[in-house]
Structure 1
């Protein structure tokens, strides 16, 4: 079982281990053991009592996230073939800039045999003010937020921003770009930001964009994939054109606006050129205060975890959020730690934090006030929460802030 569980995290299937598991299951069934497996086989329409190896292989395939054993084998073969025959030279990969919203795949790209340049753009635009401002003012605003939220030094922020600003300034019609993205708001906003920065369609502009990988139980991000899976993804890239740039410019203007109305409109639409964008915008829209309780969706889910499971270390709360509760995971651990602070540090806190250790090791619990807000008996906006931003929308509790319904409709409170 450990090999199966591991493969469902990084996507690289261990076929020998899976074959052995199917044989062990068959032997156990023939010895009138493995009652749980027998029940699952019956639920699959195989009542028994006699079973064949093909039956237990089917069960193992279903456990691994595939509809059948042949489909599991076909996927494993495709990944292995791509790893053995990456065809990087034939596709001109060496001249490409690989753009990503973090450095989580740079090493794996090199291990897999990629040789193009790597460019990271890691500004977390899902958090803090992202207002429509002149360029220098915009970056200064983002720098101030990074210092406050993450405790980064001014020098560190300046160095990071200088690299990113220079990389954006170098984008031109002669650029050769391949963008690696997932379905969540962190990645989709990176995609929008980059595309909106292009003066025109680059000579080579391609996108690798995924929201699931066969065989992975809970796909969170490209960074969790084994290097061979990156080689398998490479042939799946697709070219982008002027329509993608035009959409990105619309979305960037909408996301940085003080009024989220246009953002909400775009979030409710399907965009065939960037099909994962609408759901990501809709999920990010839920970071505005909820109309019923004044909480962002992340805040609401955090309170729900603690109400249902009891007090625990903050790092474990983050684990539950990412693995079970969050519908479209987008947060890093430090980002989550920063989002906890207003719930803890408020004059009327919704969470209590025990002292000691780093933030992830500190035990947190929901307060009685937090339970009332979670139940909808009180609205967080009536309890004086700190000012915060979502995109270009400033949220000040006593200034008729924008709120959002579960269905994505926005209005001033």
Structure 2
């Protein structure tokens, strides 16, 4: 990635002016009539803006937000900020936010997610988290209970704001939060973003500078009853043992929650592909290793996040958990060396079976030995199961 593309959303206008002046001689070499304005337009275009004035206006808007956050006027001190992790907690403080911070860390994009009574649902999720991430069962259960107790208070909270991005981790958190409501509370708001001007590869809100969070603050919008009803429908579809309704929702736009469908579609691709039995995450990782040869685990994750993953949703530990069955099974697709090292430093290598699976000559779930869940869909070794084709349409494989 070019060093001129930032990742935290902050842009220095003087630095961009300097880049334009450096670019001008190269433009003049191709066209003697080239001007500084043309060079500035080229720089703006590289950063995702349609013109230099638009770039300048964006920088000015962020600077203004940092200096005049206007938090008091919006009852910010009495606000509860909700996030699916703690990645913005410190940045919110640095930006001057005074409200309370809450999070739901449950990775609903992994493990069994079924519609169950509250206590049974919590027990299911805490058991999965404890097993998958090697966390003490009692600690996992306590954390789940605390977070879901807080989440149930959304109904009566004075002012809550949900901070979300476009990926499956965030959008599943969003529909889980809203699906637990009878109707939209009087003051429940959403800050939702799928791109930030000037950030070439936007992965998540957690990467943004504090003053960019202050710039996002005025862009929040009220959650209405249509969004709550849509969330209930989407949550029920995701928890179902059949992905058919989920797939229908993934293939249609939903104005009440405009970033929901792409996230549902990406999560649908975690079901086995009809040709190879691999999830998209598994296929991306194996394909990269086939391209470059043996590579450290952490480097594989970095490559997917930086380039190959179409809608990044995984943390590094989540990625590690998802790939363990490909290593630990009776007929593995991956081997890891240097097991005395921390997992990111261990070198991954494809097995002969992995090459057969990638070429379509073998089907992964015919060899897998671990049960896997995607939402409410169970994938058991040797059992009939749901797959998706290249158009992300579900099919039953008997």
Which bin holds the TM-score, normalised by the shorter protein? over 0.9
Cα distance in 2 for residues equivalent to 1:112 and 1:159:
31
C-alpha deviation, 1:62, in angstroms: 2.5
Query: What pairs up with 1:337-356 in 2 under 5 angstroms?
Result: 337-354=320-337, 355-356=339-340
C-alpha deviation, 1:49, in angstroms: 2.6
Asked whether the 8 Å contact 1:182–1:210 carries over to 2, the reply is yes
- 1:281 maps to which residue? 264
Cα distance in 2 for residues equivalent to 1:110 and 1:136:
33
C-alpha deviation, 1:310, in angstroms: 1.5
Asked whether the 8 Å contact 1:264–1:282 carries over to 2, the reply is yes
1:370 to 341, 354, 357: 354
- 1:22 maps to which residue? 20
Asked whether the 8 Å contact 2:82–2:103 carries over to 1, the reply is yes
Cα distance in 2 for residues equivalent to 1:390 and 1:322:
20
1:102 to 78, 85, 91: 85
Larger displacement relative to structure 2 (51-60 or 187-196): 51-60
Normalised by the length of structure 2, the TM-score is 0.96
- 1:144 maps to which residue? 127
Q: Does 1:218 align with 2:218?
A: no
Query: What pairs up with 1:125-136 in 2 under 5 angstroms?
Result: 125-136=108-119
1:359 to 336, 343, 348: 343
Cα distance in 1 for residues equivalent to 2:86 and 2:184:
25
Query: What pairs up with 1:7-406 in 2 under 5 angstroms?
Result: 8-26=6-24, 29=25, 34=26, 38=27, 47-354=30-337, 355-406=339-390
Structure 2 unaligned residues grouped into runs of 5+: none
Cα distance in 2 for residues equivalent to 1:363 and 1:2:
27
Asked whether the 8 Å contact 2:366–2:381 carries over to 1, the reply is yes
**Paired residues, what number?**
396
Asked whether the 8 Å contact 1:4–1:14 carries over to 2, the reply is no
Asked whether the 8 Å contact 1:181–1:191 carries over to 2, the reply is yes
What RMSD in Å do the two structures reach over aligned CA positions? 1.7
Asked whether the 8 Å contact 1:177–1:202 carries over to 2, the reply is no
C-alpha deviation, 1:194, in angstroms: 0.3
C-alpha deviation, 1:140, in angstroms: 1.2
Structure 1 unaligned residues grouped into runs of 5+: none
Cα distance in 1 for residues equivalent to 2:17 and 2:250:
44
Asked whether the 8 Å contact 1:173–1:200 carries over to 2, the reply is no
Cα distance in 1 for residues equivalent to 2:151 and 2:15:
46
Cα distance in 1 for residues equivalent to 2:93 and 2:114:
36
Cα distance in 2 for residues equivalent to 1:158 and 1:384:
29
Normalised by the length of structure 1, the TM-score is 0.92
Cα distance in 2 for residues equivalent to 1:100 and 1:169:
14
Larger displacement relative to structure 2 (240-249 or 330-339): 240-249
Q: Secondary structure at the match of 2:72?
A: coil
Cα distance in 2 for residues equivalent to 1:269 and 1:113:
39
Cα distance in 2 for residues equivalent to 1:306 and 1:123:
30
Cα distance in 1 for residues equivalent to 2:143 and 2:185:
24
Asked whether the 8 Å contact 1:96–1:177 carries over to 2, the reply is yes
Larger displacement relative to structure 2 (212-221 or 54-63): 54-63
C-alpha deviation, 1:153, in angstroms: 1.3
Cα distance in 2 for residues equivalent to 1:66 and 1:172:
40
Deviations 1:249-277 (A, max 9, x none): 11111111111111111111110000110
Q: Secondary structure at the match of 2:105?
A: coil
C-alpha deviation, 1:321, in angstroms: 0.4
Cα distance in 1 for residues equivalent to 2:45 and 2:291:
30
Q: Secondary structure at the match of 1:172?
A: helix
